[in-house]
């Protein structure tokens, strides 16, 4: 029996307090299960944004997708996590990653190590965070006995770390190319990465939830028009090859619903996150899938 679907929306646009609360309430009304924020300079600060999101809503969980481990001292991060979980009533899901934008680290005056060094730092952060939050004398205390941990990444060492520690195994469906920009994985490439994760996680007592971040999630009768900006940014893609990418869902409602179900069958993805600009467009997919499972 597959896990039920959970759907998240990654909020990208800074807003005033009333605007932020309104769009978080709207996400809850549309049926989303998790409100998430990324961790980039020039965007919202994750923890206060999540507290505000929880205060404006009743049901949805809140989380980070994902924190850059290099931005945080683990001891100070433990304080932030515990406080945020307590103030959100135990609704926090903590997403961690290595970070991939050199310019952001440089702007913050923080070192940007090699890929291996960043994975090592992430491991130290995860292990120290777990130790601190599990200590009976740690103050403040989180609301949850264990704050669910999401780890995002596709490389072998990241998948090892994910298999060892994560409650949610998050796949971006893309890799960092030689230019420093993200390059989408093909369906077969993602198959191989998910398969590698399953090998590494074979000995787990409890399987992790598998998650995918969608870059395009649009219900439309004209997918060519919807994907025009993507095709202009990625001239090597044709419309056909773009529509075949796992991180792209675009087409009529029933086609998109069928793709979501097919991806659950092929990869095991039951936790799907869309970007804020697609929040409204993707909502009918959530409604249709929930009706089928009712």
Whether 1 is covered by a domain: the verdict is: no
Is 128 inside a domain boundary?
yes
Q: How far apart are CA 276 and CA 9, in angstroms?
A: 6
d(CA 218, CA 226): 7
Q: How many domains does the chain have?
A: 1
Give the per-residue pLDDT at 180: 61
Give the range of the structural domain holding residue 238, as residue numbers without chain letter. Answer: 6-293
Residue 286 located in a structural domain:
yes
In a domain, 262, yes or no: yes
In a domain, 82, yes or no: yes
Backbone angles phi, psi at 103, to 5 degrees: -60, -35
Domain contains 260 = yes
In this structure, which long-range contacts are made by residues 2-6, counting pairs with CB atoms below 8 Å and at least 24 apart in sequence? 2/264, 2/268, 2/270, 3/209, 3/270, 4/270, 4/293, 5/260, 5/264, 5/270, 5/271, 5/272, 5/286, 5/289, 5/290, 5/293, 6/33, 6/34, 6/209, 6/270, 6/271, 6/272
Q: Give the pLDDT of residue 182.
A: 74
Contacts within 8 Å (CB) and 24+ apart, 99-106: 99/39, 99/68, 99/69, 99/70, 99/71, 100/176, 100/180, 100/182, 101/40, 101/68, 101/180, 102/180, 104/40, 104/41, 104/68, 105/68, 105/70, 105/71
pLDDT for res 293? 84
Q: Contact, 275 vs 230, CB < 8 A?
A: no
Burial class of 119 by CB neighbour count within 10 A (0 to 12, 13 to 18, 19+): buried
pTM: 0.96
pLDDT of residue 181: 66
Give the model's pLDDT for residue 114: 95
- CATH number assigned to the domain comprising residue 170: 3.20.20.30
Question: Is the CA virtual torsion 104, 109, 115, 120 positive or negative?
Answer: negative
Low-confidence ranges of the chain (pLDDT < 70): 1, 177-181
| Confidence (pLDDT) at 168 | 98
The β-bridge partners of 246 are none
- CA-wise closest residue to 56 among 91, 14, 83, 81: 91
In a domain, 282, yes or no: yes
37: closest CA among 61, 18, 5, 58?
61
Burial class, 233, CB count within 10 angstroms (exposed 0-12 / middle 13-18 / buried 19+): exposed
- The predicted structure's pLDDT at residue 106: 96
Q: Which two tokens stand for residue 281?
A: 């467009």
Q: Tell me the three state secondary structure of residue 19.
A: helix
What local confidence, expressed as pLDDT, does residue 166 receive? 98
């Amino acid at each position: 029996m597959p896990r039920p679907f959970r759907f998240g929306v990654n909020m990208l646009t800074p807003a005033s307090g009333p605007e932020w609360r309104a769009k978080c309430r709207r996400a809850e009304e549309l049926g989303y299960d998790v409100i998430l924020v990324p961790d980039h300079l020039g965007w919202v600060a994750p923890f206060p944004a999540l507290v505000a999101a929880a205060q404006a809503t009743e049901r949805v969980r809140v989380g980070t997708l994902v924190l850059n481990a290099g931005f945080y001292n683990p001891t100070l991060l433990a304080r932030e996590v515990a406080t945020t979980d307590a103030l959100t009533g135990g609704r926090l899901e903590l997403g961690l990653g290595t970070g991939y934008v050199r310019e952001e680290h440089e702007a913050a005056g923080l070192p940007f190590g090699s890929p291996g060094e960043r994975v090592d730092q992430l491991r130290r952060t995860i292990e120290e965070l777990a130790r601190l939050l599990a200590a009976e004398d740690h103050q403040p205390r989180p609301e949850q006995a264990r704050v669910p941990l999401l780890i995002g990444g596709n490389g072998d060492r990241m998948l090892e770390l994910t298999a060892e520690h994560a409650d949610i195994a998050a796949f971006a469906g893309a890799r960092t190319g030689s230019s420093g920009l993200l390059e989408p994985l093909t369906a077969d490439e993602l198959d191989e990465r998910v398969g590698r994760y399953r090998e590494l996680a074979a000995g787990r007592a409890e399987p992790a939830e598998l998650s995918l971040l969608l870059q395009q999630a649009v219900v439309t009768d004209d997918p060519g028009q919807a994907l025009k900006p993507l095709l202009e940014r990625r001239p090597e893609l044709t419309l056909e090859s773009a529509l075949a990418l796992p991180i792209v869902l675009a087409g009529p409602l029933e086609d998109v619903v069928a793709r979501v179900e097919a991806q659950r069958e092929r990869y095991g993805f039951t936790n799907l996150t869309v970007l804020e600009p697609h929040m409204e467009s993707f909502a009918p997919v959530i409604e249709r899938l929930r009706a089928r499972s009712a």
